[in-house]
Amino acid sequence: MDLLLAQLPSREQAWALSDSYFRNGSWMYCVIKRRTFDNDFFPLAFPSVGAGAGRPAITPHQLALFFMVLCLGALFDLNSAPYNQLSKRYYALAKAALALDSAGSVVHVQTIMLMGTLLLNEHSHATRGGEEFWPLLGLAMKHAVALGLHRDGQNWNLPKEEVDERRRVFFELDVYETLQALCLGRPRSLASHAIDTKAPGSNSEEDMKSESICASSRGIALLAGRLA
């Protein structure tokens, strides 16, 4: 972990790259909300000077997600050369961080979805990105099912924030897989009758803006799911 943490950029550059991702690359799939990234992930990667010794350390999955946001921020940076080496570097670091812990987690699922965004947009994967992403989508869905994300968290009286996060992550994954299944002419992992997770709610102006596009994607995916 120490070797990977040493590869983080400066705090200023990390902020600029994450800003690039949320401005330019997160409009279609709401894998992680900017507010969640800024408030929960960024302080773990860059603890404040006065942070106490009891502060939780960043996990391998959280670090992998952080690197993927930097990777996509570099890829979608309008002021940098297309398909620059920086995005490839952070992608390699994200894979290395993910390899440190093979257990499933919600963050693990989110990281795989972000990896898919790279595979579908990076030019070296232009002709095979979909094929490379397809088995990863299956892995993400297997982890999601093992975590019970396809079942609504309200059934188990989980905290509201956790319920909302589980709903959001599962719906984004289901939309991603359904649309890819339609494009590739392949079946989805789960039939609709096996899913009782409710659609995530919109609790803020940020949520409402992102939901407008994501809800449209879900509508398309729901229709596509009847065909896939």
Encoded tokens for 3: 């070797």
Q: Which residues of 30-51 are buried (b: 16+ CB within 10 A; e: fewer)?
A: bbbbbeebeeebbebbbeeeee
DSSP state of 201: P
Q: Are 80 and 74 in contact (CB under 8 A)?
A: yes
Each domain of the chain, given as residue ranges in start order, spans: 2-48+55-225
Question: CA 11 to CA 49: how far, in whole Å?
Answer: 12
Backbone angles phi, psi at 66, to 5 degrees: -60, -45
pLDDT per position in the chain (228 positions), as tens? 899 999 999 999 999 999 999 999 988 788 999 999 999 999 999 987 665 555 678 999 999 999 999 999 999 999 988 888 999 999 999 999 999 998 889 999 999 999 999 998 876 655 677 888 999 999 999 999 999 999 999 989 999 999 999 999 999 999 899 888 888 889 888 888 899 998 887 555 555 445 545 555 555 655 555 544
DSSP helix/strand/coil, 40: helix
Question: CA 12 to CA 106: how far, in whole Å?
Answer: 27
Q: Are 65 and 44 in contact (CB under 8 A)?
A: no
**Block residue for tokens 């599962």:** 170
**Which has the closest alpha carbon to 45: 84, 75, 1, 86?**
1
